[in-house]
């Protein structure tokens, strides 16, 4: 176990308070990056004491591997326009930065009033693209992690904590 359930809950509450202060009086839309950020987004939005809307974008660069392929694909686009709105991208883990770079470019083309990033986990040791989150839950070491929405080959998302994937589990798929 890397981060327990209680520690996650406390940090998400802190992030929600900061985001509430920063976005007071603004037209906030959370854009959750599926599928990994679903749990984080659900908990975070309940901690933001403002009117907001939520939309979803699905992007993929891992498949069933533990290493990013580098080829980022947008699998599901937003359902609603974001032009002129304050957009906060909600991501589970900022790793190489390749996925977030593609997502950011994609969303900027839709002319939001502002575009910022909140990530639950930040792995700066793996960064290949210069991206810095505006809000960060935890900085973690260069380990493949699962739980609290994060998966390996679509498994382990339902764990209430964040743990390091053991090599024997990665090999089983």
- Active-site residue 95, yes or no? yes
Alpha-carbon dihedral sign for residues 101, 26, 77, 93: positive
How many Å apart are CA 173 and CA 151, to the nearest integer? 10
Kindly list the distances between the CA atom of residue 68 and the CA atoms of 7, 94, 98, 128, in Å, as whole numbers in the listed order: 27, 12, 8, 11
Q: Which residues contact 10 (CB under 8 A, 6 or more apart)?
A: none
Upper half-sphere CA count for residue 80 (Cβ side, 13 Å): 12
Could you say which of 43, 92, 95, 151 is catalytic?
Answer: 95
Positions marked catalytic? 95
């Amino acid at each position: 176990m890397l981060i327990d359930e209680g520690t996650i809950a406390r940090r998400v509450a802190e992030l929600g308070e900061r985001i509430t202060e920063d976005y007071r009086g603004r037209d906030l839309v959370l854009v959750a990056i599926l599928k990994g950020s679903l749990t984080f987004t659900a908990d975070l939005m309940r901690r933001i004491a403002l009117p907001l809307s939520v939309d979803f974008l699905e992007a993929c660069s891992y498949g069933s591997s533990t290493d990013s392929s580098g080829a980022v694909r947008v699998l599901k686009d937003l359902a609603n326009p974001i032009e002129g709105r304050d957009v906060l991208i909600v991501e589970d883990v900022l790793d190489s930065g390749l996925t977030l770079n593609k997502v950011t470019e994609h969303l900027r083309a839709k002319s939001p009033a502002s575009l910022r990033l909140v990530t639950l986990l930040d792995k700066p040791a793996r960064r290949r693209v210069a991206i810095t989150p505006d809000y960060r839950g935890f900085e973690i070491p260069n380990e493949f992690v699962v739980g609290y929405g994060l998966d390996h080959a679509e498994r382990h998302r339902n764990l209430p904590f964040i743990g390091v994937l053991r090599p024997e589990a990665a090999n089983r798929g």
